[in-house]
């Protein structure tokens, strides 16, 4: 599984517009094969920082998502509403928590 955290610093006057567009992106993305989770989170200390947190089954699912019609239609609109964006991909580190 691959986790994505896409941090968006949204222009203050565009926050509500961003949320409306994000809703459409989230609903359609959750229907995609390989999408395990896809949600939007608001920073509790700064409501202009909105993070997409996604979980995908594998890199192929992410590639399909990035080529989807809804992604190509909505993401450029979201990009116009942000001052800064940072996208990070994460994979789980296997940690043996068992102690002897």
**Ramachandran area for residue 72 (φ above 0: left; ψ -120 to 50: alpha; else beta):** alpha
CA distance 50 to 42: 5
List the 49-56 sheet strands across, edge first. Answer: 35-42, 49-56, 2-10, 82-91
**What CA–CA distance (Å, rounded) separates 57 from 78?**
24
pLDDT in tens, the chain (100 residues): 999 999 999 999 999 999 999 999 999 999 999 999 999 999 999 999 999 999 999 999 999 999 999 999 999 999 999 999 999 999 988 887 776 6
Look at the chain and report how many structural domains it folds into.
1
**Within a domain: residue 66?**
yes
Helix intervals (H) in 30-68: 59-67
In a domain, 96, yes or no: no
Under 8 Å between Cβ of 59 and 2: yes
pLDDT digits (tens, 9 = 90+) for 44-67: 999 999 999 999 999 999 999 999
Whether the model clears a pTM of 0.85, i.e. scores above it, the answer is: yes
CATH number at residue 79: 3.30.70.100
């Amino acid at each position: 599984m691959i986790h994505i955290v896409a941090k968006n610093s949204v222009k203050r006057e565009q926050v509500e517009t961003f949320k409306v567009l994000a809703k459409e992106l989230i609903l359609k993305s959750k229907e995609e094969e390989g999408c395990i989770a896809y949600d939007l989170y608001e920073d509790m200390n700064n409501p202009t920082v909105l993070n997409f947190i996604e979980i995908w089954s594998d890199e192929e699912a992410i590639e399909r998502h990035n080529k989807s019609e809804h992604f190509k239609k909505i993401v450029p609109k979201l990009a116009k509403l942000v001052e800064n964006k940072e996208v990070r991909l994460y994979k789980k580190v296997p940690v043996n928590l068992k102690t002897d």
